[in-house]
Amino acid sequence: MRLKNKVALITGSSSGIGRATAILFAKEGAKVVLVDVNDEGGRETLAMIEEAGNEASYIHADVSKAVDCEQMIAFAEKTYGKLNVLFNNAGIMHSDDGNAMSTDEKVWDLTMNINVKGVFFGCKYGIPALQRAGGGSIINTASFVALLGAATPQIAYTASKGAVLSMTRELAVIHARENIRVNALCPGPLRTKLLMDFLNTEEKKQRRLVHVPMGRFGEAEEMAKAVLYLASDDSSYTTGTEFLVDGGIRAAYVTPE
């Protein structure tokens, strides 16, 4: 078991990457703290883990609110005595997110509040917990669009993921000598509800897939396996990375300088 005796907190655990990762982490021996605003989905994930004979707990938290993030970290430490892995995964991709001209300020602000402030608050309160535990691993969900422009306009989402990637790099450097590793997961296009709801026509789906050398959407379970590597001691010399799991997109469109 690659996460035996470790405690992991996962935001956005009601579906998609968060759910797949929570189930895998628990299977690999971690005690998992599930966090979401979708209580029904979060409790479904909890039931899946418990039915498999593994251990987890659920807490409601809105990651855009500092007090909620402070409470979720406190809950993890109170419930399991420590925190070793923090997966800042919660995020949104708003259906009204378009280009700079069409995107409303409210959509921009909501996206930034969840996708960027949510990671900031998670780290603000989570890093002291990792310090108390003697170190650990932070994984922040960015995206391949933090490195490449999106084929379908989504200006707020793209900007938010660029911010997550930059924040990850700085945190990695600051905390490198504290036995705290900070990495960004950069998924390619995935067959998750989040993206499928955004790419809500066949034309949009094909416009995205034409750029993917593998010719298919990735699966949440494939991302979970990448997160497991970053969370485990297998990645003990890995920090500050843009961990691309993108079906080859960047290799096809970016050349070395």
The verdict on residue 1 lying in a domain is no
Report the C-alpha gap between 11 and 97 in whole angstroms: 22
CATH code of residue 72: 3.40.50.720
Q: Name the band, by pLDDT with cuts 50, 70 and 90, for residue 257.
A: low
Specify the higher pLDDT residue, 47 or 201. Answer: 47
213 three-state secondary structure: coil
* Contact yes or no for 6/85 (Cβ under 8 A): yes
**Cα torsion 256, 244, 146, 86: sign:** negative
Segment among 179-188, 228-237, 248-257 with least mean pLDDT: 248-257
* Helices (H) then strands (E): counts for the chain: 10, 7
The verdict on residue 210 lying in a domain is yes
- Is 254's pLDDT higher than 70? no
Percent of the chain with pLDDT over 90: 81
81 C-beta neighbours (distance < 10 Å), count = 11
- Is 67's pLDDT higher than 90? yes
The verdict on residue 44 lying in a domain is yes
Dump pLDDT digits (tens) for 68-93: 999 999 999 999 999 999 999 999 99
pTM of the entire structure?
A: 0.94
- Does 80 participate in catalysis according to the annotation? no
Q: Which residue in the list 58, 80, 125, 157 is annotated as catalytic? A: 157
* Contact yes or no for 64/114 (Cβ under 8 A): yes
Report the C-alpha gap between 225 and 77 in whole angstroms: 25
pLDDT value at residue 104: 97
**C-alpha dihedral (112, 162, 100, 11), degrees to nearest 10:** -30
* Contact yes or no for 11/63 (Cβ under 8 A): yes
User: Which residues neighbour 73 within 8 Å (Cβ) at sequence distance 6 or greater?
Assistant: 9, 83, 122, 125, 126, 129
How many structural domains are present in the chain? 1
Q: Which amino acid is at 227?
A: V
Q: Name the band, by pLDDT with cuts 50, 70 and 90, for residue 223.
A: very high
The verdict on residue 186 lying in a domain is yes
pLDDT value at residue 209: 80
Average pLDDT over the chain, rounded to whole?
A: 94
- Give Cα separations from 12 to 5, 186, 241 (angstroms): 23, 16, 21
The verdict on residue 170 lying in a domain is yes
199 three-state secondary structure: coil
Percent of the chain with pLDDT over 70: 98
Residue 44: domain span: 7-253
Dump pLDDT digits (tens) for 232-253: 999 999 999 999 999 998 888 7
The verdict on residue 208 lying in a domain is yes
